[in-house]
Structure 1
């Protein structure tokens, strides 16, 4: 009887051990199966590494399965993204300090570079964009009297292209494509803002005066031609006096007050 019981105990222990092995295998396999699933969202790519070695890039949206052991994944969005460059003080081409901010629109086109070639692609483009804004802004004047000359105030397409080209060259290592760069805020620095405002007012006054003088010359020329066509003959002195009077009336900033010149006539007899 004792021999029978002793034979059953090893059999029970063997069955229990087999059960535990099967249970552990099932649980472990279930966890591996569960944690191996990866969801790829729209406009997103996932760079997969295993034990520090590049494996693949998941681009097709949906559910994928990759063995989780030693796996590291980097999710890289491929949507259009924006970066707001904070207001910073730079020197424009003429050496005047200005405050400028901008918005950069970009997209990741090479997820491998964005994940592995740089430490943090977002921080990378932020740092590069700030440096590019300062460097390119120093190549153009804040404003220009010549409308054909590119300047920052009018945001000429040549200026925008210069920002994009310079920034694109700086972020190529991160696999980023720069779509657009737009100035968000552009003003003179506070220390020279008042002086520049007075300068702008003076330039506006000069331009206004030039326009008035040009118009006055055309009006006087037309008046003289009409008088000649009407056969109203005038001497050279009278013509000069008329032109001078018309120019004074038209170009004067105040209301003109007419003055009539009276030449007295002398009557009487001459004593001998």
Structure 2
């Protein structure tokens, strides 16, 4: 069965219909007066039927606000949607279902799920969405707002299992290290699930991300250890460069000539002084007493 597509419903300006109903009321009043003096059964029946029609006609008035719509249904058949802002009149026998076209925010609860490496994490996201096809939102899903909530949470769970919380390799995406890329991936994932409901995803982003409490302390220590290793690596790289620069400067400017043993001793002393966490204490060598 083909999906129902939104179409425009037939409508009449509400103010014009008010004038028509007022005119019908006047006609009905005149018919009623004529039907009782003298009594005329046919005119009385026409007057009563006209009054019933006028009474029912008031049910056809609708007021559509900006970013609002009315889905028109007649005896189970979809007639169309009124999106145009204003005061309108439609068939009084139809069912009019209101569908908001405004932008909505869905804030998910904190979801506990395992990431790519199997680590339990807690994640939550914000999904910004709106209805773009009112017919599909009403007829293709049971409750489109509830559908958005359930499918969004399912997409968040699926995304969390595809990426690691934090990756040590720069070429791989991670939930914490690549928020922009993850947000775009989440948007695509949610949109693919909500197309059936006529919903457009405007924006999606992770609003909360943390390790689960049972492993939070262990993961914090691991992150601290990784940070220390990375810092040490930078320090060693910088120290090696400074030692190389010092030896080259001494050699180029002929300040002192060092053999291999003295170079090794100097390198050892400089590396200890540069890499050590404790501030180095200089020792001044004034030479030997006897030459």
Name the TM-score class by shorter chain. Answer: 0.7 to 0.9
Matched, 1:36 2:74: no
String of CA shifts for 1:90-123, please: whole Å, max 9, x gaps: 1111111111110001121111100111111000
Within-5 A mapping of 1:235-254 = 235-254=259-278
- Note the residue ranges of structure 1 that are not aligned, 5 or more in a row: 1-10, 267-272
Partner of residue 212, structure 1: 235
Within-5 A mapping of 1:20-59 = 21=45, 24-25=48-49, 27-59=51-83
Alpha-carbon distance in 2 for matches of 1:36, 1:190: 58
Alpha-carbon distance in 2 for matches of 1:85, 1:235: 69
Partner of residue 139, structure 2: 116
C-alpha contact (below 8 Å) 1:167/1:178 kept by paired residues: yes
- Note the residue ranges of structure 2 that are not aligned, 5 or more in a row: 1-34
Within-5 A mapping of 1:1-272 = 15=39, 21=45, 24-25=48-49, 27-69=51-93, 71-231=94-254, 232-258=256-282
Q: What is the aligned length?
A: 256
Partner of residue 270, structure 1: none
C-alpha contact (below 8 Å) 2:36/2:44 kept by paired residues: no
Alpha-carbon distance in 2 for matches of 1:155, 1:230: 49
Aligned-residue RMSD, C-alpha? 2.5
- With 26-35 and 112-121 compared, the bigger mean Cα shift is at 26-35
String of CA shifts for 1:179-221, please: whole Å, max 9, x gaps: 2210000011100000011111111111111111111111111
Alpha-carbon distance in 2 for matches of 1:67, 1:56: 12
2:232 match: secondary structure = helix
Q: Could you tell me how far 1:36 is from its partner in structure 2?
A: 1.1
Q: Could you tell me how far 1:148 is from its partner in structure 2?
A: 3.1
C-alpha contact (below 8 Å) 1:150/1:156 kept by paired residues: no
Alpha-carbon distance in 2 for matches of 1:38, 1:255: 81
Alpha-carbon distance in 2 for matches of 1:56, 1:260: 94
C-alpha contact (below 8 Å) 2:167/2:177 kept by paired residues: no
Alpha-carbon distance in 2 for matches of 1:59, 1:203: 57
Q: Could you tell me how far 1:79 is from its partner in structure 2?
A: 2.1
TM-score by length of 1: 0.85
Q: Could you tell me how far 1:259 is from its partner in structure 2?
A: 5.0
C-alpha contact (below 8 Å) 1:44/1:77 kept by paired residues: yes
